[in-house]
Chain A
Amino acid sequence: QKEVEQNSGPLSVPEGAIASLNCTYSDRGSQSFFWYRQYSGKSPELIMSIYSNGDKEDGRFTAQLNKASQYVSLLIRDSQPSDSATYLCAVTIIGNEKLTFGTGTRLTIIP
């Protein structure tokens, strides 16, 4: 079992709709959770970080964390074509600064 799992996609969402990206993790010692966006040929860009159970909103983005279910998600409201990218879920484990990445979900917003 992979430590961080994401559906590789591609996930296609109409423009203006809500895109929902999901991630599960296996280590219950995971303490910090991140969503990065990576455009083709570019480096990852931090979208959201979340550390405690519940929702965290930033503009059109909402991260949701459920530690009991070992599940973290990212919602993108009012999706725009510029949101088309690969979204990487990453976690850190207590006592370890290294990020463990999922394989990423490729999102395409259809105009």
Chain B
Amino acid sequence: GAVVSQHPSRVICKSGTSVKIECRSLDFQATTMFWYRQFPKQSLMLMATSNEGSKATYEQGVEKDKFLINHASLTLSTLTVTSAHPEDSSFYICSALAGDTDTQYFGPGTRLTVL
């Protein structure tokens, strides 16, 4: 159990376009999901906390208008990178909180390359 999927696993886009990444909890409901970003050889950086049915909470320094988060159901959260630029190229990872165990399970990640 406790499987989290992400789609797409890899995306290449042109500068200025928007990219949507989906995160799904497959076998449990998650009222809370998290979005992280990881640059090569660096630590995971939390971008935002996504709560079902309410606005996301963004970490300091993360532009909420650039990284749009929607958590429309108990099994799906989406991250949209708007007007992507090469500096947004990174590994984006979501996690879903299994509330009964206070444990975060991570998706496989989405590698975004902006040309």
Chain A interface (Cβ < 8 Å from any Cβ of B): 31-32, 34, 36, 41-46, 49, 88, 92, 97-99, 101, 103-104
Residues of chain B within 8 A (CB-CB) of A36 are 106
B108 to A43, Cβ gap below 8 A? yes
- Give how many B residues have a beta carbon under 8 Å from the other chain's beta carbons: 19
Q: Chain B contact residues: over half helix, strand or loop, or mixed?
A: strand
Chain B interface (Cβ < 8 Å from any Cβ of A): 2, 32, 34, 43-44, 46, 49, 91, 93, 97, 101-109
Residues of chain B within 8 A (CB-CB) of A46 are 2, 103-106
Residues of chain A within 8 A (CB-CB) of B97 are 97
B103 to A34, Cβ gap below 8 A? yes
A-B pairs, 9 with minimum CB distance: A43-B109, A43-B106, A43-B93, A44-B106, A32-B102, A43-B108, A103-B43, A49-B103, A99-B104
